[in-house]
Structure 1
């Protein structure tokens, strides 16, 4: 029942789902990581705000690229009889691992507005922090909100049909 009510049923709902998650994630994760990098200030937040549209585009592309591989890995790690929550948390974990590996470098390049070796050289120092922030935001904020919105949409749609 949860799968039918809380997840996208078609391509339009998939786009809505990705839109909700990506907008929430970028607007929370990018400023937090930027503040850890440059210090917590209004100026840092403003700088993060200026590059967020570019980071958002990369996030959407990454979600589209990692969605199928993440589903395959999730299917290998858990069984069909595992709970909805188990499926969601493992899928979230796999997606965030894949995306954070790339975005730790590419997000830094976008934020710095230059391509350099620095994010690659500092990768093993910065990736664990970026992963932890991203996983927390995805698992506790972005995905639950997106699933709640889809559930409400499905409840209204199903009421109209019946």
Structure 2
């Protein structure tokens, strides 16, 4: 039987899984909302590996993380989203290891009473995940391997949450 990262049994508000294996989007969302009749909205985001970046062809991407620290960082981001948006639950699954173009990298899923808060919380979590969670990405291109630098646009995205 497959363990679901988003299983809300005994769940407080946050579930985080850093894993090498792929995830089943439908199963994870069903697990997150299971048994909670308050849920009127579920919002999810799935990020995938692109085959191009900065004009170059990308044949693979390797993701690394800081074990223990990464999970704590993401849990803190989710805790802030729960407080700020009043969401019922959230789940973040982030894959590590060697990934190919079109493979899933990340899932952010959020439940709330209404769609607006779910959309906002999902974006908030993803924006902070991109900028603050300790992950490192290395792309394999025709020119060789290169580490992916932080993007100014990711840092700028955080500014809208500064209020």
Q: TM-score, normalised by structure 1?
A: 0.38
Indicate the structure with greater helix content. Answer: 1
Which has more radius of gyration? 1
Indicate the structure with greater strand content. Answer: 2
Higher relative contact order (CA 8 A, sep 6+): 1
